[in-house]
Structure 1
Amino acid sequence: MTKLELFEPAMCCSTGVCGPSVDETLLMITSAFEGLSKVSTVEASRHNLTSDPDAFVKNEKILSLMKENGKDSLPVTLLNGEVMKSGSYPSLDEITDYTGVVFMNQEQSSSCCGGSGCC
């Protein structure tokens, strides 16, 4: 099983719809992880520094990155325990590379995937 973990900076919410403006990247990440939750071969989890600080403390790689680079190292993407990306969120193409799950845009997904966003 593929294990994909995302360690995110402190935020009030993970969806990107809080505050004065919508963060499109967070919306995309939220949708991608919701799609991955339905894939039996992928274990995907998100850890927010505000709501899940224990996950940061318990992961030596995350602790090391944060000691070296501080909060600028976040977000961090781990694939099967290995750091794949640090300092920015993964793109959909990168998530596809990591997991093998292909994500479609809304126009494509409505015709081939029943509107779920991933095939």
Structure 2
Amino acid sequence: MKKVEIYDPAMCCSTGVCGPSVDPDLTRVASAVYSLEKQGVDIKRYNLANDPATFAENETINQVLQEKGVDALPITLLNQKVAKAGAYPTNEEFAEWAEVKAEELNEKPRVRVSIKLD
């Protein structure tokens, strides 16, 4: 099975729904990652703000960042090799790597909220 790792730039969250404006690309990627995880695909995301040690420990990521700087982020590794840098993978790329249909990547994460009324 293929392993996908996404190394995000420093940001407060990976969904794109925080802050004053929503980033549709981040919400798309979050949905695709969620769908792939549910299907058992080995996919992980790392945020530079939250996981700096993971960036430092990965020789490939370290090399790209030393050569191109943080503008190379996001970086996506496929089986530990750079598959894409400077932009997030498309749903078609995710689908090809995970051997699924792109339409299967549109499921939105659902969060159950509990509200207690007095």
**TM-score normalised by the shorter chain: which range applies?**
0.7 to 0.9
Q: Which of 1 and 2 has greater Rg?
A: 2
Unpaired segments of 5 or more residues in structure 1? 110-115
For 2:39 and 2:54, the matched residues in 1 are separated by 23
Q: What is the match of residue 54 of structure 1?
A: 53
For 1:7 and 1:101, the matched residues in 2 are separated by 22
> Does structure 1 retain, via aligned residues, the 8 Å contact 2:35–2:104?
no
Deviations 1:83-107 (A, max 9, x none): 000000011011111111223289x
Greater relative contact order structure (CA < 8 Å, 6+ sep): 2
Q: Give the TM-score taking structure 1 as reference length.
A: 0.85
Q: Tell me whether 1:38 sits opposite 2:35 in the alignment.
A: no
For 1:83 and 1:101, the matched residues in 2 are separated by 21
Alignment of 1:93-108 (within 5 A): 93-104=92-103
Deviations 1:10-34 (A, max 9, x none): 0011110011110000000000111
Runs of 4+ deviating beyond 6 Å: none
For 1:35 and 1:20, the matched residues in 2 are separated by 26
Q: What is the match of residue 74 of structure 2?
A: 75
Q: What is the match of residue 89 of structure 1?
A: 88
**Aligned-pair Cα RMSD in Å:** 1.7
User: SS at 2:96's partner residue?
Assistant: helix
Letter aligned with residue 53 of structure 2: D
Q: Tell me whether 1:17 sits opposite 2:17 in the alignment.
A: yes
Q: Give the TM-score taking structure 2 as reference length.
A: 0.85
Identity %: 45
User: SS at 2:12's partner residue?
Assistant: coil
Letter aligned with residue 28 of structure 1: R
Q: Give aligned pairs, total.
A: 108
Task: Check 1:66–1:93 CA distance in 2 against 1; reply closer, same or farther (3 A cut).
Answer: same
